[in-house]
């Protein structure tokens, strides 16, 4: 579903230095690593929001690096994304926020859009919140609206950048449970960046760890815990000594 090969991207300094990973349909990949490892840039490159300098990004067989605008739009129509700051429109109601991708990308009738919105809000436990404004929502509720908006088009790929940032432990656990349910219900490929690895890892099918713009490891959680690598061990143990 997602295939990234030797991806490079620089701004004032190199950010991605040959990163490679793969994600299958109906699979959750946890993307972890220290700050400035390149995780968010990699996620935005998969979404077609950042243009890579070199390498390959294929989503459902379509190449994004060097793609035409038509191909880019076609691929982005199959992707749902939750940004770290959620990025709800303050001037739109909850229902209007969730409906926004449908109105931009689909040809559904208003009654069909209304039903889709109600279904997704119900899936994240926000039935009856349709007319609320973002200013009247808690942080956890805003993130759940963001999850509903990302999934409302039933995309084949879902990309989440710190979906539980700033949330309390109980709400964080509920958020990751929602991600697992989205994966099961939609059959989508999910890539999830989170610094809360204790709650992220139990819902992942695989995990990829980045360091200095490269993917050091990709595999199952038990495999990662069994790997003898000083950087991975230091990160998982939260130690301040060592090469990280």
Q: What is the pLDDT of residues 29-48, one digit of tens each?
A: 999 999 999 999 999 999 99
Answer whether residue 149 shows pLDDT above 90: yes
Residues 165 and 243 in one domain: yes
**Whether residue 111 is found in the same domain as residue 174:** no
Does 46 share its domain with 97? Answer: no
The burial of 77, by beta-carbon neighbours within 10 Å (0-12 exposed, 13-18 middle, 19 or more buried), is given as middle
For 243, residues 6+ apart whose C-beta sits below 8 A from its C-beta are: 230, 231, 234
Residue 239: which pLDDT band, with cuts at 50, 70 and 90?
Answer: confident
State pTM to two decimals.
Answer: 0.93
Judgement on whether residues 111 and 164 belong to the same structural domain of the protein: no
Taking the C-alpha atoms of residue 170 and residue 242, their distance in angstroms, rounded to an integer, is 32
Assess whether 70 and 176 both reside in one domain. Answer: yes
The answer on pLDDT for 8 being more than 90 is: yes
* Shared-domain flag, residues 138 and 148: yes
pLDDT above 70 coverage of the chain, percent: 100
113, 140: one domain: yes
Total domains, the chain: 2
Helix, strand or coil, per DSSP, at residue 27: coil
Residues 238 and 162 in one domain: yes
Taking 90 as the threshold, does the pLDDT of residue 112 lie above it?
yes
Residue 138 is part of which domain span? Answer: 87-154
Q: Are 114 and 122 in contact (CB under 8 A)?
A: no
More confident residue, 243 or 212: 212
Last residue of a domain, one of 120, 137, 154: 154
| 2 and 36 share one domain | yes
Whichever domain contains 199, its CATH number is 3.40.50.300
Domain identity same for 170 and 239:
yes
List, in order, residues 6 or more apart from 19 with CB less than 8 Å away: 4, 6, 7, 38, 42, 55, 210, 213, 214, 215
DSSP conformational letter for 198: H
Domain end call among 126, 154, 182: 154
Both 116 and 19 in a single domain? no
5 in the same domain as 63: yes
């Amino acid at each position: 579903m997602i295939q990234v090969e030797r991806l490079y991207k620089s701004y004032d300094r190199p950010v991605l230095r040959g990163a490679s990973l793969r994600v299958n349909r109906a699979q959750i990949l946890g993307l972890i690593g220290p700050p400035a490892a390149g995780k968010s840039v990699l996620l935005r490159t998969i979404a077609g929001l950042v243009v890579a300098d070199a390498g390959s990004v294929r989503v459902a067989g379509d190449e994004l690096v060097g793609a035409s605008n038509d191909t880019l739009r076609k691929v982005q129509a199959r992707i749902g994304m939750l940004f770290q700051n959620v990025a709800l429109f303050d001037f739109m109601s909850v229902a209007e926020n969730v409906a926004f991708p449908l109105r931009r990308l689909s040809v559904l009738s208003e009654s069909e859009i209304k039903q889709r919105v109600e279904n997704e809000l119900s899936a994240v436990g926000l039935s009856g919140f349709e007319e609320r404004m973002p200013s009247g929502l808690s942080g956890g509720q805003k993130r759940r609206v963001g999850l509903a908006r990302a999934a409302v088009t039933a995309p084949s790929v879902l990309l989440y950048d710190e979906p539980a940032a700033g949330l309390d432990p109980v709400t964080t656990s509920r958020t990751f449970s929602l991600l697992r349910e989205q994966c099961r219900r939609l059959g989508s490929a999910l890539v999830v960046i989170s610094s809360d690895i204790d709650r992220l890892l139990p819902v992942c099918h695989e995990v990829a760890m980045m360091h200095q713009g490269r993917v050091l490891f990709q595999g199952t959680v038990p495999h990662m815990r069994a790997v003898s690598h000083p950087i991975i061990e230091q990160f998982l143990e939260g130690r301040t000594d060592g090469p990280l």
